[in-house]
Structure 1
Amino acid sequence: QPRALAICDAEELSGERCMLSTRSQLKAVIARYAARGLAPVVATELEFFIFAPNPEPLYPFVPPTGLDGRREQGHSAFSVSSNNGLRPFFAEVYACMAALGLPRDTVMHEMGVSQFEINLLHGDPLLLADQTFLFKHLLKEVALKHGLIVVCMAKPLAHTAGSSMHLHQSVVATDSGVNVFSGADGQPTDTFRHFIAGQQACMADFTALFAPNVNSYQRLCQPYASPNNACWSYDNRAAGLRIPSSAAAARRVENRLPGADANPYLAIAASLAAGLHGIEQKLEPTPPMQGAIEVPEELSLPCTLHAALERLKSSQLAKELFGHEFIEGYIASKTLELTSFFDEITPWERRVLAAQV
């Protein structure tokens, strides 16, 4: 049956914005840019896995059976026929995206088994956050109709790539629409450097906002183009901050830390707030990394949710940018989830430790 879905803002009874609302937090960050005559522009790249139904969580996910009667074995990244076995599913996804007004850019098979990526067209950050939220909901609903499940965990399968939600960010002047990351001569501007430096300065403090679950760190600690660092580089996917090759008018900063499991409102708000912090404070970035990246200690990031929450808890900057109420509430919520995780004994513990200790 058809159903309606409304995206709403949360307010206190007094009419003031609810500090615990991630959508409200994003709107506040955008307003801070507007006060400086600036408007951020964002695009999201959402990766996801398509699996057969998995009614028993103790069993690993398996790829679905395609139209040819076979299960995908992987090695299909960027193949022109990689989604042929799931053609009816994707046809309905595209139709639903058109009906919802979700403009798609690129569709491709990613590195993992039955892993795909669909990119949304760049635009206003709040609109892109709404679209990303709707898109994830759409994927899961269409999958159910086709006897499939879509999983947006950061790392649903061992020994393969995880799923990210890379953020492409630029900033334009509100009066002209010109990208302030590039000067009239086409060269990078001071604003561009300051934006990168702000991202670097905040990334460790904000890791728990980009990687919000225990499983998030399975993705970040594996060598599948999921960098766990605050380095920046030109077109190097081993860096946490990548500057893609582009024309000067399209110069942008790609934040590669957020996983597909991140809240799009919060991840975009945190990334843009970090960049604005660098602009306001006129921070300077480290030299760009090239080739194989050896991460200096000061640019390394937390490797567990517990460590990330401790870093966030001690961050005065995070409390200044998002408010004490939000940061404390977020940490309390994630601490409850972490406690729940440790309430369970994993198969690895039974398999390995029972015989060895």
Structure 2
Amino acid sequence: MTDNSFIADLSEAEDFLKANPDVVQFETFLTDSSGVQRGKILRRSELPGAYKHGRPLPCSILSLDIKGADVEETGLVWDEGDSDRMCRPVKGTLTRAPWKATPTGQFILTSYEKDGSGSLADPRHALARVVADCHAAGLYPAAAVELEFYLLDGKAAAEGRAVPPTAPNGFAQSEFQAYLLQDLSDFAPFLDDVYRAADGAGLPARTLISEYSPGQLEIVLEHRTDPLRACDDAILWKRLVKGVAEKHGYAATFMAKPFAEFAGSGTHLHVSFCDADGRNLFAGEEPDGNLLLRHAIAGLEATMAESMAMFAPNANSYRRFKPNSYAPVGPAWAIDNRSVPIRVTAGPPQTRHLEHRVCGADANPYVAMATVLAGMLEGVEQKLEPSKPIVGNGYAQIAPSLPRFWPDALRRARASEFLKRRLGERYADVFLTIKEAECDRFFAEVSDRDFHWYLRLA
């Protein structure tokens, strides 16, 4: 039975129109498996109808690779006659898009099959199914998404080059300088606009830091008791950051590794299991965590290697994974230690939760969150025991065992019974079919690097 509790009703649209009489159009979109937003623009008069009846989009919209080309092998193009699927607005996602010159609103869609069930190829429904499985086990996940990104020179980005930005005061970013407050002051006009836009959109943007590398930033989104809403926040947040950056003459990228010489950007997922009344079930005074916490950690360790294709979905994703990079090389965990992929956070016992540090910033939040929660649930249901917690430098103690390259990760995921069972066999197949086609297309291209290395010397 499909859970429709996250579908918005007409009153949300009517209230928004009354409160925003100047808005003349709406960007409405769903997020495909690659994490790309695809949809259409509606005029103001069309909004009530979209909320009352939904809006149709072709089923092939969920079978596109990251460049927008059809992946026919999914069976969602010609096999279906590219027929429509009804898409419904997601509750709580109707906001303004204040970076637009034309007064514009936006909202997230999710796709449904003709029989009214959630579309099996929609990554948001894959997450909804995992959350439902958690609830059936008496576990209620709370979650937050923490995203790192790079601010780049906008003109260079338009030319296909990644160049650190120059601040309005003329100072160029060029060197490692972690947590420097001066960087935040230099880019205050951009960051002030980001916070204003987040407040206007109801996004819970909190702590802001300048990260390790030039132009690299991170803003933490506050946790939600609903993982679906936490991932909606992440999608809206990425659009907001990109839009405001462009308005200021920059480009914002969530590529995992835009610079060979600088740090990669990650997606850190903060997760815990609660009871039906919202009490944190990971809370406790035990030094190495309570039994439920340890089972959840063990599930993540056991499923990490076969899940890498979901956490690192692109060729560029794998440039992050090397020793001493704040990206993992093998499954491990520790208490308040950032040299491992699973970090149990410090702080009061009632706030204890896991920080999953594997994903690149390019990961699809819905897919990544679904896979993490599925791994945790796997450990709990099978009562798995974790490894011993790491003390000290994890990179000196963890044997590299995760797939280091995209094709290897895809092969491991394709053979995974866990991913099929937890994410849904059809969704796992669609996701991997798209990524396998993408991988083939990526490595079929002849790049400038090929000529530079091999043209005269081979």
Match of 1:283 among 384, 390, 408: 384
Please show how residues 86-105 of structure 1 align to structure 2 within 5 Å: 86-105=187-206
Superposed CA deviations along residues 225-281 of structure 1, whole A, max 9, x for unmatched, are: 111321111222121111121211111111100111010111111101110111111
Tell me what 2:235 maps to: 133
For the residues of structure 1 that align with 2:148 and 2:379, how far apart are their CA atoms?
29
Is the partner of 2:252 in helix, strand or coil?
A: strand
Tell me what 1:233 maps to: 334
Give yes or no for the alignment of 1:329 onto 2:430. Answer: yes
Tell me what 1:191 maps to: 292
Inter-CA distance 229–18: structure 2 relative to 1 (3 Å threshold)? same
Contact 1:160 1:224 in 2 (8 A): no
Match of 1:155 among 241, 253, 257: 257
For the residues of structure 2 that align with 1:68 and 1:238, how far apart are their CA atoms?
36
Give yes or no for the alignment of 1:67 onto 2:168. Answer: yes
Amino acid at match of 2:107: A
Contact 1:61 1:157 in 2 (8 A): yes
Match of 1:172 among 268, 274, 278: 274
Contact 2:288 2:389 in 1 (8 A): no
Higher RCO structure, 1 or 2 (CA under 8 Å, sep 6+): 1
Inter-CA distance 266–280: structure 2 relative to 1 (3 Å threshold)? same
Is the partner of 2:115 in helix, strand or coil?
A: coil
Match of 1:119 among 215, 220, 229: 220
Superposed CA deviations along residues 21-68 of structure 1, whole A, max 9, x for unmatched, are: 1111111111122222221111111000001122222xx311222122
Tell me what 2:121 maps to: 20
Contact 1:77 1:109 in 2 (8 A): yes
Amino acid at match of 1:38: L
Larger of the two Rg values belongs to structure: 2
Give yes or no for the alignment of 1:56 onto 2:192. Answer: no
Match of 1:35 among 127, 131, 136: 136
For the residues of structure 2 that align with 1:74 and 1:15, how far apart are their CA atoms?
53
Contact 1:235 1:244 in 2 (8 A): yes
Give yes or no for the alignment of 1:348 onto 2:449. Answer: yes
Amino acid at match of 2:145: T
For the residues of structure 2 that align with 1:154 and 1:43, how far apart are their CA atoms?
19
Amino acid at match of 2:321: L
Gaps of 5+ in 1: none
Q: What is the RMSD of the two structures over their aligned residues, measured on CA atoms?
A: 1.7
Tell me what 1:264 maps to: 365
Runs of 4+ in 1 over 6 A off after TM superposition: 184-187
Match of 1:312 among 409, 413, 418: 413
Inter-CA distance 187–301: structure 2 relative to 1 (3 Å threshold)? closer
Q: Point out the structure with the larger strand share.
A: 2
Contact 1:233 1:242 in 2 (8 A): yes
Contact 2:257 2:320 in 1 (8 A): yes
Inter-CA distance 87–321: structure 2 relative to 1 (3 Å threshold)? same
* CA deviation after TM superposition for structure 1 residue 339, in Å: 1.7
The number of residue pairs the alignment matches comes to 353
For the residues of structure 2 that align with 1:310 and 1:154, how far apart are their CA atoms?
21
Is the partner of 1:118 in helix, strand or coil?
A: strand
For the residues of structure 1 that align with 2:441 and 2:318, how far apart are their CA atoms?
17
* CA deviation after TM superposition for structure 1 residue 296, in Å: 5.3
* CA deviation after TM superposition for structure 1 residue 185, in Å: 7.2
Superposed CA deviations along residues 267-313 of structure 1, whole A, max 9, x for unmatched, are: 1111011101111111110111222334555x721111111110000
Contact 1:187 1:248 in 2 (8 A): no
For the residues of structure 2 that align with 1:102 and 1:22, how far apart are their CA atoms?
21
Contact 1:227 1:237 in 2 (8 A): no
Is the partner of 1:17 in helix, strand or coil?
A: coil
TM-score normalized with structure 2 length: 0.74
Amino acid at match of 1:16: S
Is the partner of 1:335 in helix, strand or coil?
A: helix
For the residues of structure 2 that align with 1:239 and 1:224, how far apart are their CA atoms?
11
* CA deviation after TM superposition for structure 1 residue 223, in Å: 3.1
Is the partner of 1:308 in helix, strand or coil?
A: helix
Identity of aligned residues (%): 37
Is the partner of 2:455 in helix, strand or coil?
A: helix
For the residues of structure 1 that align with 2:381 and 2:414, how far apart are their CA atoms?
23
Match of 2:324 among 220, 223, 230: 223
Contact 1:72 1:113 in 2 (8 A): yes
